[in-house]
Amino acid sequence: MSQDALAAGLADLGIELPAAAQHKLLAFRDLLLKWNKTYNLTALRDPAQAVSHHLLDSLAILPHVGDGPLLDVGSGGGLPGIPLAIAKPELSVSMVDTVQKKATFLQQAAIELGLKNVTAHHARVEEMSGQYAQISSRAFAEIGLFVSLTRHLLAPGGRWLAMKGIRPDEEIAALPADVSVESVIPLHVPCLDAERHLIILKAGS
């Protein structure tokens, strides 16, 4: 049933993925729910709900993800980083979480799923180094804080991809003057009855 729900959801999002990638997505879902029993990675326990609320919710931003290296901040259970890495195997995906057990899960998931394009870091993002063309977050922090903690990691011409629920107009209004909003994109996530938005930001007005 999950396989059908995933295939239907992907079709609804206009995303074509080979069967092997779809199987890998469901294998990731199973791994997440298995580790969740011990590690408390997600509030969701229902496998069917995990397809819509985790896999499809993460993949809804796929059309807006570019080709340069991506850093996913506060990855927790690997969302959206791992679904994006599965769907886009040529994309280099780094994930960071301050919680050791979550970083351990991310490393183990990458190994078990054979994701050669994934690296996981146990660190505070403000202490990391490197340059990334794209920096994503899903329910990590208020946008201004997300931007300030990761600004040193954004490559010149790079973009922040902030996944939010309802349109965060107050957070956008409070952004520093030298951060510009490239677009605010309402997302439709199949089988998820809640507002979702992707806020794409750039440094420089």
As annotated, the binding site for S-adenosyl-L-methionine includes 74, 79, 125-126, 138
List binding-site positions: 74, 79, 125-126, 138
- CA 150 remoteness from chain centre: 15
- CA 74 remoteness from chain centre: 9
CB atoms within 10 A of CB 194: 9
Closest CA to 103 of 128, 69, 86: 128
Q: At which residue do the structure tokens 């990691």 appear?
A: 153
The conformation of residue 153, written as its DSSP 8-state character, comes to: G
Strands 93-97 and 118-122: parallel
For 5, 13, 80, 89, the CA distances from 8, given in Å and listed in that order, are 5, 9, 19, 21
Query: Which residues are registered as beta bridge partners of 154?
Result: 132
CB atoms within 10 A of CB 129: 7
Taken as a whole, the chain contains a residue count of 205
Closest CA to 24 of 77, 105, 86: 86
